[in-house]
Amino acid sequence: MHSTLAQSAPPALTSIAKGKELALFLDFDGTLVEIADGPDEIAPIAGLADRLARLADRFDGRCALVSGRGIDNIEHHLGTVSIAIAGSHGSDIRFASGKGMGQGARSLPSEIEAELRAFSHEHGVEYEHKSHGGALHYRRNPEMGERAVTFAKELAAKHGWKAQGGKCVIEILEKGSDKGSAVRSFMKDAPFAGSCPIFIGDDLTDEAGFAACQELGGVGILVGKRADTCAGYRLADVSSVHNWLEIE
């Protein structure tokens, strides 16, 4: 990873693609919505789903949400999302038409979930059930972070799944999918095929999306101040993202 360009703001949305058709891939938490103490405590801006639909219309449908949350969870907070969306770290993909891709997210085996729930109860961290896995959140109890991460990694390895870290969270999910694979899947088909992809995200899990966009002739935009990144540009915060996208 490198960060030589990631400290500069991107050029205007209308000029960043240098005359090419632009495709936007947008992370959710920490990018479009402020991170909250718990995953169910987020407060999206009013009408966010409609704002994103209008943004997608500006780019002839070439706009997709790419999130670690399940699609059902995002729609619980936003209402129906009419743009393309990849949930569960890319393992559950749905085009704007409603057409799905692949077999969807695989549920966490009951024995893994039981151990995660037991750890959560015993050590005072929050367990989040996901359609594609399970997560331990330690934002309210940061001193338990290292122990939670070690536990989850060992548990995932024992069962042949993978552990993936983020901001005050460690989750267990099936191997094989990430945000980069979601970008590549979208870019194979209309309306995304042949366009210049831009990925905006804030967390370590978004690096795969940045890298995929670079491989396809585009660029990543990091939200926040993290140093190690392959993103080409940086925006300061969620408000800056809304402003750059002209959805504020």
Is the confidence at residue 17, as pLDDT, over 90?
no
Is the confidence at residue 164, as pLDDT, over 90?
no
The top-level CATH class assigned to 22-104+177-245 is alpha beta
pTM (predicted TM-score): 0.81
pLDDT, tens digit, 9 for 90 and up, residues 56-84: 999 999 999 999 888 988 999 999 999 99
Give the model's pLDDT for residue 1.
47
Q: Which amino acid is at 111?
A: E
Active-site option among 27, 29, 202, 203: 27
Q: Edge-to-edge strands of the sheet including 133-137?
A: 126-130, 133-137, 169-173, 162-166
Q: How far is CA 210 from the centre of its chain?
A: 11
The reply to whether omega before 191 is within 30° of 0 (cis) is yes
Rounded to whole angstroms, the Cα distance separating 125 from 119 reads: 8
Domain boundaries, the chain: 22-104+177-245, 110-173
Could you confirm whether domain 110-173 is CATH 3.30.70? yes
pLDDT, tens digit, 9 for 90 and up, residues 220-229: 999 998 878 9
- In the annotation, is 202 catalytic? no
Beta bridge partners of 235: 223
Rounded to whole angstroms, the Cα distance separating 17 from 170 reads: 35
Task: Looking at 85-164, list the stretches that DSSP marks H as alpha helix, in order from N- to C-terminal side.
Answer: 110-123, 145-159
Rounded to whole angstroms, the Cα distance separating 19 from 225 reads: 29
Q: Which two tokens stand for residue 130?
A: 């996901």
